[in-house]
Structure 1
């Protein structure tokens, strides 16, 4: 009986990338669907001004908003799209600052809102224990 020598197979050094492409496409679809849902806040027309944006490393700020009708909003939890009373806003801000005292607080006001309403919101935030507030604006690149 003659024994045939076995042929040795050479190892294949290729990576099958098809599963990686499938995962990438699924992730792309997920991000495309969820990206519009991530935007938060109330639609207001901000006044135009030149200002430096917040750094990427800072904590996400609490944004207290007042719309054209003078209603208050806070970008916290489920209450970001529903108007709230002034004392409710102050209570929520004070509770958040007790948990995270170094959270920046921003005021977002519609361009049609009177200066008095913005000042009243800032006084309300000061009484809630906010040490300083920032004012949000749109860039004036027209």
Structure 2
């Protein structure tokens, strides 16, 4: 039989990378990051009271009160001692040492209603750095505010 004139064409090899699997992996990673990003806790741990919470009683121990005034100044009241003005570094050192010597003493942060939120958070962060185990926010009840 004679050749019919049909030629077998050789296919040229394409040197391309299939990117579909990479896109799939990237979409899965994007979903993972979108789900886990809101779960990241970047703040200071605070034990918030329940809605039906009663007034906190400190028992037999006098509480340590860290106050932040409207100007952003920090004050410390240690177990009946007069209130004294401190810097953040001094506050961290004094309350940290006091909490190590008196474990279980309640520490309250009282922020003025006109104080910047940043000032209150800085005080709480410094107390956390000083390894103070439990820090609570202090507020007044609605009955006291209405008078």
TM bin (shorter chain): 0.5 to 0.7
Alpha-carbon distance between aligned partners in 2 of 1:58 and 1:71, rounded to the nearest angstrom:
29
* Secondary structure of the structure 1 residue equivalent to 2:120: helix
List runs of 5+ in structure 1 lacking aligned partners: 1-48
Task: Calculate the TM-score normalised by the size of structure 1.
Answer: 0.59
**Aligned-partner Cα distance in 1 for 2:127–2:74:** 12
Matched, 1:127 2:129: yes
Paired residues, number: 94
Q: Greater CA radius of gyration, 1 or 2?
A: 2
Q: Distance in 2 between matches of 1:50 and 1:112?
A: 26
Matches within 5 A, 1:57-96: 57-76=59-78, 80-96=82-98
SS at match of 1:126: helix
Q: State the Cα distance separating 1:62 from its structure 2 match.
A: 0.7
Structure 1 residue 57 displacement after superposition? 2.4
2:104 alignment partner, SS class: coil
Instruction: Quote the RMSD (CA, aligned, Å).
Output: 2.4
2:103 corresponds to: 101
Matched, 1:139 2:141: yes
- Write the deviation string for residues 88-141 of structure 1: whole angstroms up to 9, x where unpaired: 111111111121111111001100011111111110110011122111111112
Distance in 1 of aligned mates of 2:58 and 2:99: 21
CA gap of 1:69–1:125, structure 2 versus 1, over 3 A, is: same
Contact 1:86 1:124 in 2 (8 A): yes
Secondary structure in 2 aligned to 1:83?
A: strand
| Residues 1:78 and 1:105: Cα distance change in structure 2 (over 3 Å) | closer
More contact order relative to length (CA 8 Å, sep ≥ 6): 1
Task: State the partner residue of 2:27.
Answer: none
Contact 2:77–2:84 (8 Å) recurs in 1: no
